[in-house]
Every structure is written in C-alpha cells, then in structure tokens.
Amino acid sequence: MKKVITTIGAVLLMTAGAVYANTADELIKALDADGDGQVSLEEAAANPDIEAQFAVLDANQDGYLTADELAAEPQPEETQG
Ligand SMILES: [Ca+2]
Ligand SMILES: [Ca+2]
C-alpha cells in the first residue's frame, strides 16, 4: 500500500503546485508548449485572459511573451516622456 500512498502524495503535490502557478515564470512554463521559454500568441490561446491581453502584455511587440513581460504591470496609458 505504500506505493498507493506515494502516488496520492505526488498528486497532492501537483495540485498544490497548480495553485501556486500564478507567477509569471510559472505561467510561462504552463503555457510554453514548445519549450522555447516564451509564449507565442498560439500558445497564449490556452489562457483566455492572457490571449485577450496579449498585445498589451507583449511590451516589445515581438509576438512573444516573456516572463519579464508577464511580470510587468500593464500600463493603461503613457503620460510620461
Ligand atoms: Ca513557446
Ligand atoms: Ca515580447
């Protein structure tokens, strides 16, 4: 029965991990299907919230979201400069 308990423990760990998968880095890992370390618009389609804000989040407009871009607060408008 020890194996069953270990399996349940692993599942619980995975569940707990999902709860904390709300940092930019974890979000990249969760959405980055091809493992290149950034999220394309196609990959972002898996997360409606990210997909909807893709253009805003993609600060350098290169078509990919990086952890830095996801971590940055979206700027409503630029009044400085
Ligand atoms: Ca990717
Ligand atoms: Ca970008």
**Residue 63, in any domain of the structure:** yes
**Residue 30, in any domain of the structure:** yes
Instruction: Supply the pLDDT for residue 31.
Output: 96
The answer to whether 18 and 29 are in contact (CB under 8 A) is no
In the reported structure, the alpha carbon of residue 66 is separated from the centroid of ligand 2 by a whole-number distance in angstroms of 6
Q: Read off the pLDDT band of 72 (50, 70, 90).
A: confident
- What range defines the domain where residue 56 resides? 23-73
pLDDT at residue 14 is higher than 80 = no
Instruction: Supply the pLDDT for residue 16.
Output: 52
Report how many domains make up the chain: 1
Domain harbouring 54, CATH code:
1.10.238.10
The answer to whether 27 and 21 are in contact (CB under 8 A) is yes
Closest ligand, as measured to the CA of 57: 2
Question: Residue 44 forms beta bridges with which residues?
Answer: none
Mark residue 35 as left, alpha or beta (left: phi above 0; alpha: psi -120 to 50; beta: remaining): left
Mean of pLDDT over the chain: 82
**Residue 43, in any domain of the structure:** yes
**Residue 80, in any domain of the structure:** no
Closest ligand, as measured to the CA of 31: 1
Closest ligand, as measured to the CA of 40: 1
